[in-house]
Structures are given as C-alpha cells and as structure tokens.
Structure 1
Amino acid sequence: MSSDPWGRVDETGTVYVRTADGEQVVGSWQAGSPEEALAYFERKYEGLVVEIGLLEKRVKTTDLSSKDAMTAIGHLREQVDAHHAVGDLAALRVRLDKLVELVDARREERRAQRAKQSDEARHAKEALVAEAEELAGSDQWRAAGERLRALVDTWKGLPRLDRKSDDELWHRFSHARSAFSKRRKQHFAHLDAQREEARKTKERLVAEAEGLSKSTDWGVTAARYRDLMSEWKAAGRAQREHEEDLWNRFRGAQDVFFAARSSVFAERDAEQTENLKLKEELAEEAEKLLPVTDLKAARAAFRTLNERWEAVGHVPRDARPKVEGRMHAVERALQEAEESEWRRTNPEARARAEGLTGQLQAAVDKLKGQIEQARAQGNDARAKKLERELEGRQALLDQALKGLQEFGG
C-alpha cells in the first residue's frame, strides 16, 4: 500500500483521496505500482489547478462574459466534485467559490457601466434634441443646416437607448430637422417670388422709360424719370440673370432722353460743369467707404451720398461715364458684399454665379470682337464707345469671377 498527505492506494489497487468528509474513492489502478497510481491522479489534480488558474486570469484580464465564465466554473466544479484527482480538493472549491464572487462582482460592474453609458447617451441625445429644436427656428440657413447635419452624424455615433426612449427622442429630433427644412424651403420660395415680382415691375418700368425716351416735354418727362428711378429702387432686385439687362435698357432709355435734352439746353453747360465738380467730390467721399468693413453703415452712408448725387443734376455728357463709373464701382462693391452674405445662405447661388459669369464673359468677348471690327472699318468713334462699355462689362465680369471664387471654383 502507498500513500501521500492527500491520498493512498490499498492492496487491491483502489485509489482514495482524503477530504473533510472522509476518504473518497478516486479510481482503480491495475497497470503499475501504487506510486505510479498516485502520481497519475496527482497530475490530474495539477491539471485542475492549471485550468482554474487560467480561468481566473481570463475573468480578471479579458472581457469574458459572465455567462461563459459561470459555465466554465460549473464544468470545473463537476470535475472537482467527481473526486477523480488526488490533492487538496477543498482548496480548489474555495478558489472556485471566490471565482464565482469575482464573476458576480464583474457582472455588477458591467451592469453599472452599461447603466452609466445609457444615462450618458440619454443626456447626450437630449442635448442634441434641444439644440436641434433651437436650430429649427434659426434664420441662419447655411450655418444651421450644416450644424443639423453634424448633429445627425453625432447621433449615429451614440449607443441606442431602450426602444421607447430612443424612438421618442428621435421623433423630436427628426421633427426639428423637418421644421427647419420646411422653413428654409418657404424662405427661398418667398425670395424667388419677390424677385419674380421685381422683374415684372421692372419690365413695366423699362417699357415706360423706353416710351418716354423721345419726349420733348423736358420738365415733365425728367420728373417722371426721377419717379421711375424711385420706383425702380423700391422694386428690389430681380433675378441675377435679368437684373443687368433690365437696368441697361432702363438706363439706356434715360440716356436717350437726357442726351436730347442736354443738346437743347447747351447753355447749361456751365451749370453741368459745376455739377461735375460736386459729383467728383461725392464720388471721392463714396470711395472712402471702401473697403467695406461695416456693410450696414456703408450702405446707409452710400444711400445718403446717392441722394445728394441725384439732387446735383446732370454733368457734361463726355465726363459722365468716368464719374458715374466711380460711383457704380462703389455701388458694385457694396452689392458684392451684400450678395456675398446672401450667397452664404443661398444653396442656389453657385449655379447662378456660374451662369452670370458665363453671360458676362460672352458679352466681353462679343464687345472685343465688335471693337476689332470697328477699328478695321476705321470707325474710331464707335471703337472708343465700345471700349468704354467694355470697361464696365469687364469690371462686372471681374466682380463675378471674384464672387465665384468664394465657392472654391
């Protein structure tokens, strides 16, 4: 018979393990010596020690689920309880019990962590909903639209809540986005309607201005032209593709009339020369408004200067393009500043800017061809007139190209 502190082998080859409840049969050994029998079952015990140690490490250092951990513990406990090994089986049970306690503690930690994450996700989504609902009433169409898109991306990165809470918050979030989109669509539809109404009004004003261009009733017609100009300004801007053409026709009709009147009132040349001096001073004051730093203040100041300009009266015809060109350059700069702000809130602005640029480029190319043709025909007067018109169109093209660059194209 052979034995060690935890087990023995009797004369029949039966192997026993000692426990607190007495000896338990481990198995029968007939293949060799009693020492070999004890060594075999002791190795089985060491195998259990190794398996329990590995499981302890997995529980402590990996994300092994509580369910899988308890299944593994149960499997090891069955092997320990089966008494098929020689060693301190009670110690193994103690380690398995402690391992159960550790798994329970980890389960609670994970439950608490999930609860914390869920709470944080809830607060985060509630904050997104609150911001979206605030943005729904914004008039900063571009900035608010971009921010709402960013909020959607943030929402997608957050964990889901329980279905009821998540659906309720998403409904509010989606409703806020829809409300903003609806208001933005209505806003731009209203702008388009206003510009269409302005186009119709200016078409009527152009028709009347062209009808008056051959009038010789100088005083009454001049007064009517001033009224037409006031109506023109009050009408607002038409669509970009119509505004310039309408203005050229409107201004051209006035030019025809006032040119005829000027030829009749040649004696007023001295007065017009004085007017030129005053307008040059006003143009100089207007040029000091550039570059535009405070659009509202600059527009108000220019409006005052323009009223004074209109009150001055006419200047000599040959000097008018230059002095008016100075004022128009300031006005274009102010319009560009306004339209730059407008473009930032108008998703259709890029296409319109590209269209206008193409139209202006075509007009410039056409004028260049006409100038070359006039020179070839020896018509220097026409060539010079076309060159002055080319300067204005080129300036407008340069402004349009500059505006297009703001879109990165």
Structure 2
Amino acid sequence: MDYGYIKNGKVYRNAFLDFPEKEIGTVKDSEEATMQYFTDRFQGLLNEITEVQHKIESQSNKGSFLMKVINLKESLPTMDAMGDFESVHNKLVEIESELNTYIDQNRHKNLQIKTALLEELKSVASSHEWKSATEAIKEIQQKWIKTGAVDSEHKDRIEGEYKQLTNQFFERKSAFYAEIEKMMQEKEADYEEFLKKAREKISKGNSNFKTLKADLMSEWKELGKIKHEKHAAFWDEFQRLLKSAMRSSKSAGQGKASVEENIKRRQEILDKLSALSESLEPKINLNQVRKEWKMAGFVPKQKNYEMNETFHRLTSLISEKIFLGQLLQKKARKDMSEQDLEKLRIRLLYDLLNRDVAELKTFEENVEKFNTAKGLDHLLDQKLFQQKRKVEVKKEILNQLKGLQNSN
C-alpha cells in the first residue's frame, strides 16, 4: 500500500511532508473493505477540492474562498483517510497562493476605486445644493459598499476620511434644515401673536370695520410665508375673526377716522422716533410705540410701505442704541472718564458690527449656493434683508459716534 498500512488490526496513514504517520482506524469486515473505506474518504476530499476550484473559477468574488482553502489545507494532518496527501497539500498551497495574489491585486484596484470615490465625495460634500448633493452622496455610498476591502495599511485612513466627509455633510444639512425649521417656528409664533392682538382689537369694539380690516390685512401681509398647512389654519382663524368684527361693527354704528388723520398719527410717531434716534442713549418703550403704530389706522398701500420702512429703520436704530448702552453699562469700570466711555462704546460697536458682517457673509453664501423647497425663498430673503439692516444700522451709529468723537 503506497499511502498506508495495516498492522495488528489497526490502519495507519503514512507520514507526509512534516506530518507523522497517523492511526486512522481499525479493520472491520476485511482489510480490503477497510482500505477501500478510507480510500473513498480521500476521494471525498478530492471531490470537495474540485468543487471549490470550480466555484473559484466561475464566481467573481474569488477572495471569499480563501479561508475555505486554508481550512482544508490545515485539516489534512488530522484527516482519517488514505491517499496522496502530499499532492493534495501542494495543490491547496498553490490555490492559496493564487488567491492571495488575486486578493492583493483586487485590494490595490479597490484602493484606486475608493480613492477616486473620495475625490468625488470631497466635491459633492462641500455643496449647499442639498437635494442633488444628497442623491449624489447616496450613489457614492452604494458604490463604496460594493467595492471590496483595501490593504490594512490603508484601511483606517481611507475609511476614516470617507466617514468624516459623509458625517460632516449630513451634519451641515441637518443644521441647515434645523435653522429653517427654527425660522418657520418663529414665523408661526408671529402669526399666533398677530391673531392674539387681532382678538384684542376686535374685543374693544369698532364699527369702522373697513379700516380695521384694512389694518389687519396690511399686518397679515407683512407676516411672511410659512408651511402651507399652517398658513391655511391661521388664515381660517383670521377670517373667523374678521367675520366677528364685521358683525360687531354693524351693531356699533360708530364713525371712522379719515385716511389723512391716520397718516398724521403715524407721521407724529415717526417725528418722535426721528428726534429720539439722534440721542446716544434714547429713553423710550419701543413695545408701546409699536403698539401705537399698529393702532394708527388704515393708510394707502404705497404710503403705508414708505412709512413702514422709515418706522422699521428708526426703531432698529433706537433698539441697537439701547442695547449698546446696556452693554456699555455692563462692561464699563466705575472710574472711567466720559472720553474713555465713548471709546469703549465704539469698540463694543465694532465687535457687534464685525459679528453681524460675518453672519451676513455666511448667510449670503448659503443663500446663493442651495436650492430651497418651494415657499422658503421668501422667508430666506426676509431673513437676509433683516441681517443687512442690522449691519446698515450699526454702520450708521458708528458714523454718528465717530462724528461726535472728532468734534470733541
């Protein structure tokens, strides 16, 4: 027997390579039948190897069979079978070597593919076109998953960079839409406040329904856009209030203030604000002034627009001066001279202005680079306009402070 022998009723497999001979069983029935049994077991091993080779040749993911080949090779010394184990061992070593070469080549190819995907990802991940960029990144993610592993020496770097880029993009996207949602909620709060004040006006009783409705409609149009379903709900409530006001006005039968009187009332408020805006630390309750402004009555559309613009500019100017004065009180030392106080006031204003300019620049860049959902463009334009006004108002105050400083 070339690959083993029988001695004292026991069956032994011959040594091969560095592996010693091995007792693999005992004689049962006859020596011929026993040897045939262990020979058949060896043939089963050959069949299994042939099947693995066929799968390696026919399937694209050849590297997945490496562990199967290694396990077969390592099982040879302990296998209870009779046959040419040395040839089988050499064959499995050869297959293992071919698979390792294939895997090395494939991992190098995978590295090239993933490197190219990273370059594509870097470009897409910096985009503010959230919808198209998200679709592109999802496509890259699918390609990344389908691409196999790379060598361990590159794995941490390339996988880490991929994870960092995707995480940063989705974090920026989440932050952007969180800001949009916050802005929407703020706008919704404006609608709720509007309805609250509308109820208060109506509850006071006013037969001049036309003027009241015009005033309320003018305020409604200034509220800006919100989500459609929210807008519809607020509109329905507003219409219910108007119907209630109309019924009340019919029963009250009071006279109505003329448009000229309404313009005069608003102009008086503007004159008062204009005079106060010249002061560095104006003393006024702006909330009360805003309430008086809204109660001033109907003014024609164009005139209303012009007067509202002036009103918002003056109240913004006064509000900024009040805030600056409060900040100065917190920052100033008790022993500071008037000259030092004014220098500190200018420094504080510079800090506030630089902050607003930076925020404006960032917002402008974002507005230019992304596509927003329908209905949000007006909201963003309004936010941008408010940010620009904050900068313009602070510049106006700064010019006033510098003029006073140069005159002293």
TM range (shorter): 0.3 to 0.5
State TM-score, norm by structure 1.
0.36
TM-score by length of 2: 0.36
Higher relative contact order at CA 8 Å, sep ≥6: structure 1 or structure 2?
2
